[in-house]
A and B are shown apart, each in its own frame.
Chain A
Amino acid sequence: MMPIAARGWSAAFALAVLALPWFGHEDPVVALFAGEALPLVFHAGARPWLLPLLLLPAFAQFAVRHDRPRLLVATAAVALAWLCLEGFAINHRGWTWQWLGAIFGGKPTQPALGWGALLYALAATQLAAIGLARQGWCRGDAFVLGAILLILGAILIFVFWPVMTVLISAVRDNHGNFAPAEFWTKFTDRSIWGLECLTGGGNCGAAWNTLALAVVVGLLSTLLGLAFALVALRTGLPLKGPIRLLSLLPIITPPFVIGLALIIMFGRTGFVTTFLYQTFDIPRSRWLYGWPGVTLAQLLAFTPIAFLVLVGVLQSVAPSLEEAAGTLRAGRWRTFRTVTWPLIRPGVANAFLIGFIESMADFGNPLMLGGSFNVLSTDIFFAVVGAAQDQGRAAVLGMILLGFTMAAFTAQRLWVGRARYTTVTGKGDSGVPPPLPLGLRAACYATVLPWLLLTVVVYAIVLSGGFVETIGRDHTPTWKHFLIAFGIDHGVSGWFLSGSAWNSFITTMWLSALSMPLTAALGLITAWLLARQEFRGRGAFEFLTMMSFAIPGTVIGVSYILAFNTPPVELTGTGMILVLAFMFRNMPVGIRAGIASLSQIDKSLDEASLTLGARSWRTFRLVILPILRPAIIAAMVYSFVRAVTSVSAVIFLTTAEYQLATVYIVGRAEMSEYGVALAYSAVLIAVMVGALVLIRLLVGEQRIGRRSANTAETAPVGLAAS
Chain B
Amino acid sequence: MRSARTMLFAAAALLASAAMPARADVVVYCSADEKMCRGLVTLFTKETGIKADMTRQSSGETYARIRAEKDNPRADVWWGGTGDPHLQAAEEGLLAEYKSPMLPKMRDWAVRQAELAKFQTVGVYMGALGYGYNSEELGRKKLAAPACWADLLKPEYKGEVQMADPNSSGTAYTMLATLVQLWGEEQAFDYLKKLHRNINDYTKSGAAPAQAAGKGETLVGVAFQHDVVMVALTGKRPLVTVSPCEGTGYEVGSMSLIKGGRNAADARKFYDWALGASAQQIMPEFGSFQVPSNSDVPVPKEAPDLSSIKLINYDFAKYGSSAERRRLLARWTNEVKGAAR
Q: What is the interface of chain A, defined by CB distance below 8 A to chain B?
A: 24, 26-28, 92-93, 174, 190-191, 194, 196, 200-203, 263, 267-269, 286, 289, 367, 370-372, 378, 381-382, 384-389, 391, 470, 500, 510-511, 513-514, 516-518, 521, 558, 561-562, 565-566, 570, 572-576, 578-579, 621, 625, 632, 651-652, 654-658, 664, 667-668, 670-673, 698-699
Whether A378 contacts B23 by the Cβ 8 Å rule is: no
Mask for B253-285, Cβ within 8 A of A = 1, else 0? Answer: 000000000000000000000000000000000
Q: Which residue of A lies closest to B61 (CB)?
A: A385
Answer whether A26 and B20 are a contact pair too, CB < 8 Å, given A388-B168, A521-B8, A562-B68.
yes
**B34 proximal to A (CB < 8 A):** yes
**Distance of A698 from chain B, by nearest CB (Å):** 5
Q: Is the CB of B201 within 8 A of A289?
A: yes
Q: Which of B21, B69, B84, B329 has the most CB of A within 10 A?
A: B21
What 4 pairs between A and B have smallest CB-CB spacing? Answer: A656-B53, A575-B18, A385-B60, A386-B168
Q: Does B181 have its Cβ within 8 Å of any Cβ on chain A?
A: no
CB distance from B226 to the nearest CB of A (A): 13
Question: Please, how many angstroms separate the alpha-carbon atoms of A480 and B214 in the complex?
Answer: 21
Tell me if B234 and A517 are in contact (CB < 8 A): no
Those of B14-62 within 8 Å (CB) of chain A: 14-15, 17-24, 27, 33-35, 38, 53-58, 60-61
Known contacts A371-B203, A558-B64: does B21 contact A657 (CB below 8 Å)?
A: yes
Q: Which residues does chain B contribute within 8 Å of A579, judged by CB atoms?
A: 15, 18
Q: Which of B35, B322, B325 has the most CB of A within 10 A?
A: B35
Chain A binder among B95-103, B289-297, B298-306, B333-341: B333-341
The answer, among B21, B159, B169, for a CB contact under 8 Å with A286, is B159
Flag whether B78 is at the interface (Cβ < 8 A): no
B217 touches A286 (CB 8 A): yes
Residues of chain A with a CB closer than 8 A to B165's CB: 382
A519 to B202, CA, bound (A): 39
Chain A contacts for B22, CB-based, 8 A: 657
How distant is A514 from chain B, measured CB to nearest CB, in Å? 5
CB nearest neighbor in A for B27: A656
Cα A655 to Cα B230 in complex, Å, equals 26
Q: Is B184 an interface residue (CB 8 A)?
A: no
Chain B residues lying within 8 Å of A203, measured Cβ to Cβ, are 338
Query: Taking A286-B200, A500-B38, A574-B20 as contacts, is the C-beta distance between A385 and B58 under 8 angstroms?
Result: yes
- Give B82's nearest chain A residue, CB to CB: A387
> Given that A388-B168, A574-B18 are contacting pairs, would A673 and B71 also be in contact in the complex, using a CB cutoff of 8 Å?
no
Closest Cβ of chain A: how far from B307's Cβ, in Å? 28
Q: In the complex, which residues of chain A have a beta carbon less than 8 angstroms from the beta carbon of B61?
A: 385, 651-652
- What chain A residues lie within 8 Å of B231 (beta carbons)? 672
- A388 touching B21 in the complex, CB below 8 Å, given contacts A514-B15, A673-B235: no
Bound CA–CA A511/B74 (angstroms): 21
Which residues of A have CB within 8 Å of B200?
A: 286, 289, 371
**Whole-angstrom distance between the alpha carbons of A516 and B11 in the complex?**
9
The one of B71, B168, B329 that contacts A566, using a Cβ cutoff of 8 Å: B71
Chain A min CB distance to B137 (Å): 8
Can you pick out 10 interface pairs between chain A and chain B where the beta carbons lie within 8 Å of each other?
Answer: A263-B215, A263-B217, A286-B200, A386-B204, A389-B64, A518-B8, A566-B72, A656-B24, A657-B22, A671-B207
- Bound together, the chains give a CA A200 to CA B340 distance in angstroms of 8
Residues on A with C-beta less than 8 A from B20 are 26-28, 574
Count chain A CB atoms within 10 A of each CB in B11, B23, B64, B169 and give the residue with the most.
B64
A316 to B20, CA, bound (A): 44
- Complex CA gap A699/B4 in Å reads 7
Separation of A191 and B322 alpha carbons in the complex (Å): 21
Known: A387-B329, A570-B72. A576 touches B19 (CB 8 A): yes
Neighbouring B residues of A93 by C-beta, 8 Å: 71
Rounded to whole angstroms, the CA-CA distance of A391 and B3 in the bound complex is: 45
Residues of the A chain whose Cβ atoms lie less than 8 Å from the Cβ of B329: 387-388
Q: Given A372-B201, A386-B60, A667-B34, decide whether A655 and B216 contact each other with a Cβ distance below 8 A.
A: no
Which residues of chain B are within 8 angstroms of A26 by Cβ–Cβ distance? 20-21, 23
> Is B150 an interface position by the 8 A CB rule?
no
CB distance from B247 to the nearest CB of A (A): 22
CB proximity of A519 to chain B, nearest CB, Å = 10
* Cα(A570)–Cα(B20), bound, Å: 11
Name the B residues within 8 Å of A673 (CB-CB): 234-235
Whether A561 contacts B69 in the complex (CB less than 8 A), given A269-B215, A656-B54, comes out as yes
Contact A654 B55 (CB under 8 A): yes
Q: Does B63 lie at the interface of the complex (its beta carbon under 8 Å from any beta carbon of A)?
A: yes
CA of A670 to CA of B59, assembled, Å: 14
Q: How far is the CA of A419 from the CA of B202 in the complex (A)?
A: 49
Q: Does B144 contact A (CB under 8 A)?
A: no
Given the complex, which residues of A lie within 8 Å of B23, measured CB to CB? 26-27
A517 to B46, CA, bound (A): 41
Residue of B nearest to A667 (CB): B34
Contact A387 B84, beta carbon cutoff 8 Å: yes
Select from chain B the residue with minimum beta-carbon distance to A507: B18
Q: Are A656 and B340 in contact (CB under 8 A)?
A: no
Whole-angstrom distance between the alpha carbons of A388 and B170 in the complex? Answer: 9
Q: How far is the CA of A671 from the CA of B56 in the complex (A)?
A: 13
The CA-CA distance from A663 to B137 in the complex, in Å, is 32
Find chain A residues with CB under 8 A from B214 CB: 672
**Contacts A387-B166, A668-B34, A671-B234: A655 and B207 contacting too (C-beta < 8 A)?**
no
B202 engages A386 (CB within 8 Å): no
B236 within 8 A of A: yes
Q: Are A92 and B234 in contact (CB under 8 A)?
A: no
* Contact A511/B170 with A389-B64, A566-B72 known, Cβ cut-off 8 Å: no
Q: Would you call B203 and A573 a contact (CB within 8 A)?
A: no
A269 contacts B217, CB within 8 Å?
A: yes
A561 to B55, CA, bound (A): 15
B314-333: which residues lie under 8 A (CB-CB) from chain A?
322, 325-326, 329, 333
User: B215-246 vs A: 1/0 string, CB under 8 Å?
Assistant: 11110000000000011001111000000000
Scoring A470, A574, A655 by chain B CB atoms within 10 A of each residue's CB, the highest score goes to A655
Given contacts A268-B217, A387-B168, contact A518 B11 (CB under 8 A): yes
Task: Chain A residues near B14: list those with CB within 8 A.
Answer: 510, 513-514
Q: Beyond A385-B58, A387-B325, is A664–B34 a contact (Cβ under 8 Å)?
A: yes
Q: Which residue of chain B lies nearest to A511 when distances are taken between CB atoms in the complex?
A: B18
Contacts of A385 in B (CB 8 A): 58, 60-61, 63-64, 168
Q: Is B173 interfacial (CB-CB < 8 Å)?
A: yes
From known contacts A202-B339, A268-B216, A574-B18, infer whether A651 and B57 are also in contact, taking CB-CB under 8 Å.
Answer: yes
> Looking at A269, A386, A388, which has the most chain B CB atoms within 10 Å of its CB?
A386
In the complex the two chains form, is B57's CB within 8 Å of A573's CB? Answer: no
Distance from B23 Cβ to chain A, minimum over Cβ atoms (Å): 6
With A202-B338, A389-B64, A651-B57 in contact, is A671–B167 under 8 Å at CB? no
A190, A263, A389, A513 pick with most chain B CB within 10 angstroms: A389
CA distance A191 to B214 in the complex (A): 30
Chain B's closest residue to A558 (CB) is B68
Q: Is the CB of A201 within 8 A of B340?
A: yes
List 5 additional A-B contacts (Cβ < 8 Å) besides A378-B204, A651-B57. A385-B168, A517-B8, A565-B74, A572-B69, A656-B53
A389 close to B63 (CB less than 8 A): yes
Q: How far is the CA of A239 from the CA of B266 in the complex (A)?
A: 62
- Residue B65 interfacial (CB < 8 Å): yes
Please indicate the chain A residues that have their CB under 8 angstroms from the CB of B170 in the complex. 387
Contact A382 B72 (CB under 8 A): no
Name the residue among B19, B55, B71, B214 with the largest chain A CB count within 10 angstroms. B19
**Closest chain A residue to B56 by CB distance?**
A667
Cα-based distance from A511 to B11 in the complex (angstroms):
10
Chain B residue with the shortest CB-CB distance to A622? B1
B30 to chain A, nearest CB (A): 10
| Cα distance, A565 to B338, chains bound together (Å) | 40
| Cβ contact within 8 Å between B204 and A367 | yes
Is the Cβ of B19 less than 8 Å from the Cβ of A196? no
Establish whether residues B74 and A655, one from each chain, have CB atoms under 8 Å apart when the complex forms.
yes
Q: With A579-B18, A671-B33 in contact, is A517–B339 under 8 Å at CB?
A: no
